Structure 1
Amino acid sequence: MGTSLQIVENLSPGRNLDAYVQSVSAIPVLSADEERKLAERLYYEEDVASARQLVMSHLRFVVHVAKSYSGYGLPLGDLIQEGNVGLMKAVRRFDPTMGVRLVSFAVHWIKAEMHEFILRNWRIVKVATTKAQRKLFFNLRSMKKGLTWMTNDEVKAVADDLGVEAKTVREMEGRLAANDTAFDAPVADDDETPFYAPANYLEDMSADPASQVEDANWKQETEQQLMTAMQQLDERSQDILIQRWLREEKATLHELAAKYQVSAERIRQLEKNAMKKIRLALEA
């Protein structure tokens, strides 16, 4: 058993998944008596070695649970790692006096970590935020009979079973049917396989010299037109527009009203009239 533990500690499910699964499967399952003694040493004496052995002997169970979530399109290795975190939390909180096996207690912690990982990573836009939506998210995938859209009767049955409205079921079904596309995904092993990631067909024009010159000319011309239009305004109107629109810290109507000793409504009228003149000058 010691050799198997050493092998697992040198592996990661993200690096060599097959070797990892093979190694954890080789670790013997603890008997009820062995598990109880280890759990008691951990619970009463805080024995770290016992905690390690309890965790290692249940890694195969985490792999088993992770495989049941393979339909979400996320790497199995990542799911296993998240499940291992849940397993360690469960071992730390396990009370041997409860009279249940560790696996019965740990399964809830393992699934909780996997659920959090799936909801964080399955979609760029969150598909489930409330507790009811989270329940619907995981149950709807198992209740759907196939890849086709559910009938009205099926929607009603799911809604009644989960205690939600039918429109909520339809909305979640639509979210589940949507797919995110990675902007820059790995290239296929062979050059013959087409890959339609946006990075492969969206052209970046920002580095094109002609586009850069055109943008610079357009900016210069626009700024010149604006300055010419501003010069047609009286000094007060120019100052109002500069203070209200061209400064990083914009002045309020009341601040300008106090400066020119008029009402805030008068400043608003002057600003509106000045903007109208600027617009007409730029369109000419």
Structure 2
Amino acid sequence: TYAMWWIRAAIQEYILRSWSLVKMGTTAAQKKLFFNLRKIKGQLKALDEGDLRPDQVKLIATRLGVTEEDVVSMNRRLAGDSSLNAPVRNDAESGEWQDWLVDDTMDQETALAESEERDQRRGMLNDALKGLNARERRVFEARRLTDEPLTLEELSSEFGVSRERIRQIEVRAFEKVQRAVQKAAATSAQPEHALPG
């Protein structure tokens, strides 16, 4: 009699694993739903209705002691696997389910354009930074180009000057970088001259 429990558990585990390509029944609540949902839907005369009504979901969740989300999820999983190549309707021109999938990632052209623009901006910034002396560059990078900028106090200690002097250096460096980037942007925006033909 003890062996019967083990055999029954092994059979149920096999059924659970081989039911679908999608893994299901990993928690106790999901296993309870897997083996009892169809029976309770039959009692409620809801076998052929597809999605359950909210009152049915609530009743099933209460009877089995599981969450309503688990009931909805398992009901959808038990509906069976469907091919994305299956036609949407029976007529020949309806298309396939995969035609309705939406790709939220940006298209290659947009991704390439954004990448090129990012590289161009990075290049302009690097060229602009070359116009700063070492102290201006250090202050500018420490205050403007880091996720956690250093305080005026920290930089004043590093350079042995006042906080006000660091602020002045930062403002001057920012203005130099801004002018250099604007000049580079204006130059790159001009159309290239046509070669004489």
TM-score in terms of structure 2 length: 0.47
More helix per residue = 1
